[in-house]
Amino acid sequence: MAPRPESTRPRRSRGRGASANDRPPSESLSREQLLALYYWMRLTRTLEERLVALYRQTKVVGGLFRSLGQEADSVGSAFALERRDILSPLIRNLGSMLVKGATPLEILRQYMAKGDSPTRGRELNIHFGDTDRGFIGQISPLGDMVPVMAGVTLSFRMRGEDRVGLVYIGDGATSTGAFHEGINFAAVQRCPLVVIVENNGYAYSTPTSRQTLAASFVDKAIGYGIPGHKADGNDVLAVYDVTKRAVDHARRGKGVTLIELMTYRRKGHAEHDNQSYVPEGEIERWERENDPLTRYVARLTGEFGFTASDVEAVDERAHVEIDAATDQAEASPPPEALDSLIGVYADPPAAEPLWFREGIAQAVTSHERPAGWGTSNVE
């Protein structure tokens, strides 16, 4: 496991003239941490590539959602949190979850709807969480996690805990009432919350120009009376810097910050989407000129003095880990049918099987199964 932010060791001594506040926080990252950022991005990409292979083998149940080209946004922002902090990821924040301690094995089991997956087969893809490790799983209705994270961080404030929350929102999801109510509530209650708008150009097929007339999502900050910052979402260190400052701001009791990260969704909304609505050459240009991994590797091997083989070692490590996790996940069993009745309430602890299921075993083994998936684009 790569070092986490807790084990910060300053990479270089402070510049004499600049005050601590002016200098980008990333300048204090250790060499291990610099490499860790790359590791998490690579692990994200390798894991998603493996998921594509499994999807093609029809081993994934339901849709597959990629964050290709957005890995820096997830990884850089989550890396700015302490372990005790809590984030709420979206469908393209696989990288954030890995940084926060989710394992590839969990992700693989989730996508394959296994009985020992984190939700025991109850929920889709990366919809899961663990408050101990500090992430709370999203639900599909967009925007809802903003009010929820307002409440999570309200509890931090009420209890005087030194903890911060981070919630992501897509460019598209900023149009929901839940986003608006949640960020306004958090702002006026001075909750220690960072809200990151991930502007990846599209909401499904809808370009941002049909989502809002605002020139920038960061322009929404002033309407909530909070600071707003915009950053290059494909520069992992820029993401880390802007997030870290907002996290520190929240931790100092200064309340909510809105961050807009500029990035690009290089894959379709989900794997089935052929992106026919994307102007020609747009995807290729982003791939060629603005891949977050390529860009970061250049800095690692350039200004930070890592060697190509340092980088390759990380790639190799990611591959080995994903291979091992895949083998383990594939061997996992499906959930037991009766588990479906457990835990809707704390009390009663389980629902009763309905009367027409008296011969339960038989009902389950002889049930019909759909001939194929009715939809390939569930999200």
Ligand X SMILES: Cc1ncc(C[n+]2csc(CCOP(=O)(O)OP(=O)(O)O)c2C)c(N)n1
Positions touching ligand X (CB under 6 A) are 90, 92, 140-142, 170-173, 176, 198, 200, 202-204, 265, 269, 379
Which span (12-20, 30-38, 95-103, 331-339) binds other proteins, by CB under 8 A?
331-339
Residue 244 exposure: Cα atoms within 13 Å on the Cβ side: 20
Quickly tell me which residue has 């009766």 as its tokens: 338
DSSP labels, 318-350: HHHHHHHHHHHHHTPPPPPGGGGGB-SSSSSSB
User: How many residues are given for the chain?
Assistant: 379
Q: How far apart are CA 33 and CA 209, in angstroms?
A: 37
Q: How far apart are CA 178 and CA 176, in angstroms?
A: 5
Q: Scan residues 21-50 and list those touching a copy of itself (CB under 8 A).
A: none
Asked if residue 70 binds a copy of itself (CB under 8 A), the reply is no
Which span (110-118, 239-247, 288-296, 313-321) binds other proteins, by CB under 8 A?
110-118
> How much is the CA Rg of the chain, to the nearest whole Å?
21
User: What is the closest distance, in whole angstroms, from the C-beta atom of residue 269 to Mg ion in the complex?
Assistant: 9
# chain residues binding other proteins, by CB under 8 A: 92
DSSP labels, 19-57: -TTTS-GGGG--HHHHHHHHHHHHHHHHHHHHHHHHHHT
- As a dihedral over the C-alpha atoms of residue 36, residue 42, residue 45, residue 48, rounded to 10 degrees, the angle is -70
Using the minimum distance from each CB to ligand X, give the nearer residue, 85 or 198: 198
Asked if residue 77 binds a copy of itself (CB under 8 A), the reply is no
Asked if residue 276 binds other proteins (CB under 8 A), the reply is yes
Query: Distance between alpha carbon 284 and the CA centroid of its chain, in Å?
Result: 24
Asked if residue 127 binds other proteins (CB under 8 A), the reply is yes
| Residues forming a β-bridge with 198 | 170, 261
Q: How far apart are CA 29 and CA 26, in angstroms?
A: 5
What are the angstrom distances between the C-alpha of 56 and each of 64, 168, 319, 327, 369?
10, 29, 19, 17, 20
User: Which of ligand X, a copy of itself, other proteins, none does residue 136 bind (CB under 5 to 8 Å by kind)?
Assistant: other proteins
Q: Among residues 184, 199, 200, 326, which is the contact residue for a copy of itself, using CB under 8 A?
A: 184
Asked if residue 305 binds other proteins (CB under 8 A), the reply is no
Q: Scan residues 153-182 and list those touching a copy of itself (CB under 8 A).
A: 175-181
User: Which of a copy of itself, other proteins, Mg ion, none does residue 226 bind (CB under 5 to 8 Å by kind)?
Assistant: a copy of itself
Report the 10 Å Cβ neighbour count for 363. Answer: 14
User: Which of a copy of itself, other proteins, ligand X, none does residue 129 bind (CB under 5 to 8 Å by kind)?
Assistant: other proteins
Asked if residue 144 binds a copy of itself (CB under 8 A), the reply is no
Asked if residue 302 binds other proteins (CB under 8 A), the reply is no
Asked if residue 100 binds other proteins (CB under 8 A), the reply is no
User: What is the closest distance, in whole angstroms, from the C-beta atom of residue 233 to ligand X in the complex?
Assistant: 11
DSSP H helices in the chain: 31-56, 71-78, 94-99, 104-111, 145-159, 177-188, 236-251, 282-289, 292-301, 308-330, 360-365
Report the 10 Å Cβ neighbour count for 86. Answer: 24
User: What is the closest distance, in whole angstroms, from the C-beta atom of residue 179 to a copy of itself in the complex?
Assistant: 8
User: Which of a copy of itself, ligand X, Mg ion, none does residue 173 bind (CB under 5 to 8 Å by kind)?
Assistant: ligand X
Q: Scan residues 197-236 and list those touching Mg ion (CB under 5 A).
A: 200, 203
Name every residue whose Cβ is closer than 8 Å to that of residue 324 and which is 6 or more positions away in sequence: none
User: Which of a copy of itself, other proteins, Mg ion, none does residue 200 bind (CB under 5 to 8 Å by kind)?
Assistant: Mg ion
Asked if residue 331 binds a copy of itself (CB under 8 A), the reply is no
Name every residue whose Cβ is closer than 8 Å to that of residue 342 and which is 6 or more positions away in sequence: 349, 350, 351
Name every residue whose Cβ is closer than 8 Å to that of residue 202 and which is 6 or more positions away in sequence: 171, 172, 208, 265, 269, 278
Asked if residue 275 binds a copy of itself (CB under 8 A), the reply is no
Which span (13-21, 30-38, 115-123, 286-294) binds other proteins, by CB under 8 A?
115-123
Using the minimum distance from each CB to a copy of itself, give the nearer residue, 183 or 329: 183
Q: Which amino acid is at 122?
A: R
User: Which of other proteins, Mg ion, ligand X, none does residue 303 bind (CB under 5 to 8 Å by kind)?
Assistant: none
Question: Which residues contact Mg ion by CB under 5 A?
Answer: 170-172, 200, 203
Question: Which residues contact a copy of itself by CB under 8 A?
Answer: 175-181, 184-185, 187-188, 210-215, 219-226, 255
